Amino acid sequence: MPKLTLYFVVTCVLAGMLPCSVAAERPNVLMIMVDDLGFSDLGCYGGEIETPNLDRLANGGLRFSQFYNTAKCHSSRVSLLTGQYCIAAGDVALSHAVTTAETLGAAGYFTAMTGKWHLKQQPTNFGFQRYFGHLSGACNYFLGDKTFRLNGQPWQVPESDFYTTTANVDFAIKFLNEARGTGKPWHLYIAFNAPHAPLQALPQDYAKYKGRYREGWDIVRERRIAKQQRLGLLPEGTQPSPRPEHVPAWDSLTDARRRFEEKRMTALAAMIDRVDQEVGRLVRDLQQTGELDNTLIWFVSDNGACPYDRRSTHVDAEPTDGTVSWSDSTGWAWARNSPFRYYKQNQYEGGIGTPAIIHWPAGITASTGSIVRQPAHLIDIQPTFADVTDSPIPPQFANRDLRPVSGQSLRPLFSGNRLVRREPLHFLFSKDRALRDGDWKAVSFRSEAWELYNLADDRTERNDVAEDHPDRLQEMVRRWTQMTQDVLHAPASAYRPVVEARLPHTHREWTDFSRQPGQNARGNVRGRGGLNDNTIRARKKTTLEIEGDTMQLTFTGEDPGLAFDRLPRSIGTGPYQLRFRLASKAVGDGEIYFTTDPKTSLPKGHRIPFPVNRDGEMHDYAIVLDTHESISKLRLDVSEGQGTATIRDLRLADEAGTTVARWPPRRGRGSQKP
Ligand SMILES: [Ca+2]
């Protein structure tokens, strides 16, 4: 072997290409990310969907039982590419980070990407020398959209014979052939959009799964859990989470609902099967070119199965061309995240737990087909790539103010060793929060009261032990808050104290099974509200900090304000008065928007301008909202541009002056001031 290396060095020096001696030994790196795949969807994770190619990679490599993503599309992509938590990296702008393509590219790799980008600019602005795909978060699988690009230029989607999952691998193989011509090792990142909504499958794939989901989600979930137990995926004695209140028993559904739900899962299975077929096609290409042995293949999902049931058209048809477009089903999302609780966006295990497969015959010495049971996270990918390809992550980069990488190289796991985690794993997406520290996990549903679980014997988060371990929880919340500030550099609104929990948890975009199939249009369904229903949303260019009953607002540009997207049912019907105290040091007057029609998006609807006293002193306001219907959405803008304002005692009163809603709500258990 040393002789061979020497021969390469000599040849390369003579040819004037010194780096190729290293290149001959460094692995190729293939990163595959799928979109909204449930923890149990793959065969090797308990699923009945046929995924022989991915199963083969797992059996010839390693499979993780505790690999984490960030529970959402764009934030997972940021962490995968940068080794950092999303907000720390500069979010979609990646302004505080370098990507895997930039790191490996600087070390002599040929870099390419296909599929969904979902961040600012284009992959070709972040080190990918080749790119084919869509910049958008989702698109029609057959018709595409206007965001398709090929190597930085707009690309016209063909009018027929197009399907994104297949096109991604067509271009991947084309780019690999180019890479081979350069003699460099390569780094390819494929970001499949499947099985993200719209649920649309190739006819032959859909036909394969027809009739397989007639028994419904209760039975499918039971079978998946039984298979997971056979596979030894989770510790013996793991109890599956029970069916939540918001998912009805399959047997209780109407015939029309069952017909539609069966077809939705048929489409999802077909889309996932197609991903597996395309991965198989790519792996065969690596086999034929002799590259499979020294290619590190890494497969993950960006988040758990999606429960958001926003809009479906043509529910009586089959979704096998671009004219039919269906959204996800909360019932199937529950079954697909077996045995865990909750979904995409939630930081429970059902949201952040992903199948994760690593395959690298030349580099993995741990027993093939074994299960890695230590926690790992997308932030570990970039450090691992840097480690195994000898491509140091640069400490500085032109025009970017880099922040430290939080992930750690997982290379010790490749040889069956333990990884010593330097700090807890931090989770935050929008209002959903969690911290994983050793076996302990603190988690909050949409900034409602913190819960505490010991995952060593309760991976499925069934037994909240917050009341048994108040000191531990308080310390974990303190640590979460400190990391949110010091590691993520998140705005204060991201770590404002949690509020009291409203149980059972609900979300207005989960399937409303009392409606006809297809009638779950976004925003149609209201949550169960109480007096303290709280969904204040700081609009763009607005930062909101809450202290007691005081809301402190900072405006950084035009058109700032507060939105109330989910008003409690208890508000009854109008007319109402919106009452508040306001001290303004910002420019311009105020306006209120409201609508009584849930389908209407503000600022459409009613508008009420009002003058604002801008002397910085507290003044009382009472503005009449003249309607005899029930308001569904409200927006309060107290300024037209930059400045600061303080709002106190904000409440909605009925005609008699009785308060029917107030903001902000009371604080709940586990509140922790930074
Ligand atoms: Ca996703």
The three state secondary structure string of 4-50 is: HHHHHHHHHHHHCCCCHHHHCCCCEEEEEEECCCCCCCCHHHCCCCC
- Ligand 1 centroid, distance to 144 Cα (angstroms): 17
CB-CB contact of 551 with 648 (8 Å): yes
Residues 94, 64 share a domain: yes
pLDDT band of residue 529 (cuts 50, 70, 90) is: very low
CA distance 170 to 215: 36
pLDDT tens for each residue of 499-514: 999 888 999 999 999 9
- Ligand 1 centroid, distance to 571 Cα (angstroms): 35
- Ligand 1 centroid, distance to 583 Cα (angstroms): 41
Does 664 sit behind a cis peptide bond, omega within 30 degrees of 0 on the bond before it? yes
> What integer is the mean pLDDT of 638-664?
88
Residues 205, 305 share a domain: yes
- Ligand 1 centroid, distance to 330 Cα (angstroms): 15
Cα 224 to chain centroid distance, Å, stands at: 23
Ramachandran angles phi, psi of 536, nearest 5°: -75, 130
pLDDT tens for each residue of 77-103: 999 999 999 999 999 999 999 999 999
- Ligand 1 centroid, distance to 553 Cα (angstroms): 31
State the CATH number of the domain containing residue 459: 3.30.1120.10
- Ligand 1 centroid, distance to 428 Cα (angstroms): 15
State the CATH number of the domain containing residue 336: 3.40.720.10
- Ligand 1 centroid, distance to 425 Cα (angstroms): 20
- Ligand 1 centroid, distance to 327 Cα (angstroms): 13
Strands of the 606-610 sheet, one edge to the other? 536-538, 562-564, 633-637, 590-595, 606-610
CA distance 425 to 379: 9
Range of the domain at 561: 536-663
Residues 350, 245 share a domain: yes
Residues 299, 256 share a domain: yes
- Ligand 1 centroid, distance to 210 Cα (angstroms): 25
- Ligand 1 centroid, distance to 293 Cα (angstroms): 30
Question: Does the structure show a pLDDT above 90 at 605?
Answer: no
- Ligand 1 centroid, distance to 116 Cα (angstroms): 10
- Ligand 1 centroid, distance to 115 Cα (angstroms): 13
- Ligand 1 centroid, distance to 137 Cα (angstroms): 8
CB-CB contact of 527 with 507 (8 Å): yes
The answer as to whether 601 is a domain residue is: yes
- Ligand 1 centroid, distance to 520 Cα (angstroms): 20
Question: Does the structure show a pLDDT above 50 at 528?
Answer: no
Question: Does the structure show a pLDDT above 70 at 9?
Answer: no
Confidence at residue 527, expressed as pLDDT on a 0 to 100 scale: 34
The answer as to whether 627 is a domain residue is: yes
- Ligand 1 centroid, distance to 375 Cα (angstroms): 21
Could you tell me the CA-to-CA distances from 235 to 46, 60, 240, 357 in Å, in that order?
Answer: 14, 22, 12, 19
CA distance 233 to 63: 9
Radius of gyration of the chain (CA): 26
- Ligand 1 centroid, distance to 522 Cα (angstroms): 18
Residues 455, 338 share a domain: no
pLDDT band of residue 13 (cuts 50, 70, 90) is: very low
- Ligand 1 centroid, distance to 71 Cα (angstroms): 7
- Ligand 1 centroid, distance to 266 Cα (angstroms): 19
Residues 613, 658 share a domain: yes
Token pair, residue 356, equals 């994760």
CB-CB contact of 301 with 355 (8 Å): yes
- Ligand 1 centroid, distance to 604 Cα (angstroms): 30
Residues 354, 255 share a domain: yes
Residues 450, 404 share a domain: no
- Ligand 1 centroid, distance to 69 Cα (angstroms): 10
- Ligand 1 centroid, distance to 303 Cα (angstroms): 5
- Ligand 1 centroid, distance to 16 Cα (angstroms): 45
- Ligand 1 centroid, distance to 75 Cα (angstroms): 9
Residues 149, 200 share a domain: yes
- Ligand 1 centroid, distance to 92 Cα (angstroms): 15
State the CATH number of the domain containing residue 615: 2.60.120.430
- Ligand 1 centroid, distance to 36 Cα (angstroms): 4
- Ligand 1 centroid, distance to 194 Cα (angstroms): 9
- Ligand 1 centroid, distance to 174 Cα (angstroms): 26
> What integer is the mean pLDDT of 341-347?
98
The residue out of 420, 439, 456 marking a domain boundary is 420
Ramachandran angles phi, psi of 663, nearest 5°: -135, 145
The answer as to whether 609 is a domain residue is: yes
pLDDT band of residue 632 (cuts 50, 70, 90) is: confident
Confidence at residue 525, expressed as pLDDT on a 0 to 100 scale: 33
The answer as to whether 520 is a domain residue is: no
pLDDT band of residue 533 (cuts 50, 70, 90) is: very low
The answer as to whether 516 is a domain residue is: no
Nearest Cα to Cα of residue 137 among 164, 170, 158 = 164
- Ligand 1 centroid, distance to 301 Cα (angstroms): 7
| Contact residues for 253 (Cβ-Cβ < 8 A; gap 6+) | 216, 261, 513
The answer as to whether 531 is a domain residue is: no
Higher pLDDT, 584 or 661: 584
> What integer is the mean pLDDT of 356-360?
98
Residues 138, 46 share a domain: yes
The answer as to whether 507 is a domain residue is: no
- Ligand 1 centroid, distance to 664 Cα (angstroms): 31
Return the bridge partners of 140, or none.
144
The answer as to whether 523 is a domain residue is: no
CB-CB contact of 534 with 663 (8 Å): yes
DSSP SS3 for 615: coil
- Ligand 1 centroid, distance to 46 Cα (angstroms): 20
- Ligand 1 centroid, distance to 304 Cα (angstroms): 8
Looking at the whole model, is its pTM more than 0.85? no
- 369 torsion bin: left (phi>0), alpha (psi -120 to 50), beta (else): left
pLDDT band of residue 534 (cuts 50, 70, 90) is: low
- Ligand 1 centroid, distance to 33 Cα (angstroms): 9
- Ligand 1 centroid, distance to 227 Cα (angstroms): 25
CA distance 377 to 362: 23
Q: Encode burial over 358-375: b for 16+ CB neighbours within 10 A, e otherwise.
A: bbbeebbebeeeebbebb
Q: Is the dihedral of CA 43, 436, 665, 551 positive or negative?
A: negative
Question: Does the structure show a pLDDT above 60 at 609?
Answer: yes
- Ligand 1 centroid, distance to 488 Cα (angstroms): 21
Confidence at residue 599, expressed as pLDDT on a 0 to 100 scale: 80
Residues 472, 379 share a domain: no
pLDDT tens for each residue of 19-55: 444 444 899 999 999 999 999 999 999 999 999 999 9
Does 392 sit behind a cis peptide bond, omega within 30 degrees of 0 on the bond before it? no
Confidence at residue 6, expressed as pLDDT on a 0 to 100 scale: 41
Q: Please report, rounded to a whole number, the percentage of residues in the chain having pLDDT higher than 70.
A: 93
Residues 411, 295 share a domain: yes
Number of domains the chain is built from: 3
| Contact residues for 587 (Cβ-Cβ < 8 A; gap 6+) | 614, 639, 640, 641, 642, 643
Residues, the chain, total?
Answer: 674
- Ligand 1 centroid, distance to 342 Cα (angstroms): 14
The residue out of 472, 490, 508 marking a domain boundary is 490
- Ligand 1 centroid, distance to 76 Cα (angstroms): 8
- Ligand 1 centroid, distance to 197 Cα (angstroms): 9
Average pLDDT, the chain: 91
- Ligand 1 centroid, distance to 483 Cα (angstroms): 24
Confidence at residue 539, expressed as pLDDT on a 0 to 100 scale: 84
**400: DSSP letter:** B
> What integer is the mean pLDDT of 243-270?
97
DSSP SS3 for 610: strand
Token pair, residue 389, equals 């390809």
The residue out of 390, 420, 450 marking a domain boundary is 420
- Ligand 1 centroid, distance to 77 Cα (angstroms): 9
Around Cβ 188, how many Cβ atoms within 10 Å? 26
- Ligand 1 centroid, distance to 87 Cα (angstroms): 17
- Ligand 1 centroid, distance to 294 Cα (angstroms): 29
- Ligand 1 centroid, distance to 302 Cα (angstroms): 5
Question: Does the structure show a pLDDT above 70 at 228?
Answer: yes
